[in-house]
Amino acid sequence: MTTLYTGVALGDLDVGGGMEEFDTWIAQSNSPRFVSLLCQCATELLGLTGHAQRALEYFQRAVDTALIDLEWIDRCPALHSLRALPGFAEGRLKVRTRIDALWHT
C-alpha cells in the first residue's frame, strides 16, 4: 500500500489505477477499521490530486464504516478542498457523534 500511495501522491502512478487497487482491497476486506483506513488513504490521494468530489465519496464511505479520527478530518491538508463540499460537515458530525458515544459509554 505504501508504494501505491507514494506513487500516486508523487505523480509516478495514475490516480485512476490507484483507486482501482484501493477498491479491490476494500472489497476483499472484512474489517471495518481496515476499510476505513483504506478509504482515508484514498480520500487523501484524491484530494491531493485535485479530485475533491471523488475524494468526498471515499471520505463518506470511511465515515459510514468506522472512522473515528477527528484530528485527521480537521487538520489533514489533503482534505482542504473537501471541507467546503456539501456532505463534509455532516460526515464530520457523524464522526464527532461516534466519538462522543465511545467516550460517554
Q: pLDDT by residue (tens digit) across 23-76?
A: 999 999 999 999 999 999 999 999 999 999 999 999 999 999 999 999 999 999
Tell me, rounded to whole angstroms, the distance of Cα 75 from its chain centroid.
13
Q: What angle do CA 24, 30, 31 make, to 5 degrees?
A: 105
Where does residue 13 rank: exposed (0-12), middle (13-18), buried (19+ CB within 10 A)? middle
Q: For residues 93 and 31, give the distance between their C-alpha atoms in angstroms, rounded to a whole number.
A: 23
| pTM for the full predicted model | 0.91
